[in-house]
A and B are shown apart, each in its own frame.
Chain A
Amino acid sequence: EDQVTQSPEALRLQEGESSSLNCSYTVSGLRGLFWYRQDPGKGPEFLFTLYSAGEEKEKERLKATLTKKESFLHITAPKPEDSATYLCAVQAGGSSNTGKLIFGQGTTLQVKP
Chain B
Amino acid sequence: DAGVTQSPTHLIKTRGQQVTLRCSPISGHKSVSWYQQVLGQGPQFIFQYYEKEERGRGNFPDRFSARQFPNYSSELNVNALLLGDSALYLCASSGGTGDYGYTFGSGTRLTVV
**Chain A complexes with chain B:** yes
Is there an interface contact between A34 and B102, defined as CB atoms closer than 8 Å? yes
What is the bound-complex CA distance between A44 and B4, given in angstroms?
Answer: 12
A101 at interface by CB-CB < 8 Å? yes
B residues in contact with A100, CB < 8 Å: 33, 45, 48, 56, 58
Question: Taking each of B31, B102, B109, which has the highest tally of chain A beta carbons within 10 Å of its own beta carbon?
Answer: B102
Nearest B residue to A106 by beta-carbon distance?
Answer: B42
Tell me, in angstroms, the Cα distance from A101 to B90 when the chains sit together.
Answer: 13
Q: Are B101 and A101 in contact (CB under 8 A)?
A: no
> Are A89 and B42 interface neighbours, CB within 8 A?
yes
**Contact status B106-A101, CB under 8 Å:** no
Which residues of A28-86 are within 8 A (CB) of B?
A: 32, 34, 36, 41-46, 49
Q: How many residues of A contact B (CB 8 A)?
A: 26
Residues on A with beta carbons closer than 8 Å to the beta carbon of B43: 44, 87, 89, 101, 103
Interface centre among A4, A32, A41 (most CB of B within 10 A): A41
B contacts with A, residue count (CB < 8 A): 30
Complex alpha-carbon distance, A96 and B56, angstroms: 10
Which of A99, A101, A102, A104 has most B Cβ within 10 Å?
A99
Say whether, besides A42-B106, A43-B105, A105-B40, A97 and B98 are in contact (CB < 8 Å): yes
Name 7 interchain pairs, CB-CB below 8 A, sorted by A: A36-B104, A41-B106, A49-B100, A98-B48, A99-B33, A100-B58, A101-B102
Binding site for A on B (CB under 8 A): 4, 31, 33, 35, 40-45, 48, 50, 55-56, 58, 88, 90, 92, 94, 97-98, 100-107, 109
Besides A41-B88, A43-B104, A96-B97, 8 other A-B contacts (C-beta < 8 A): A41-B109, A43-B106, A87-B43, A95-B56, A96-B98, A100-B56, A101-B35, A101-B102
Closest 9 CB pairs of A and B: A98-B56, A103-B42, A99-B48, A43-B104, A99-B33, A100-B45, A97-B97, A43-B106, A44-B104
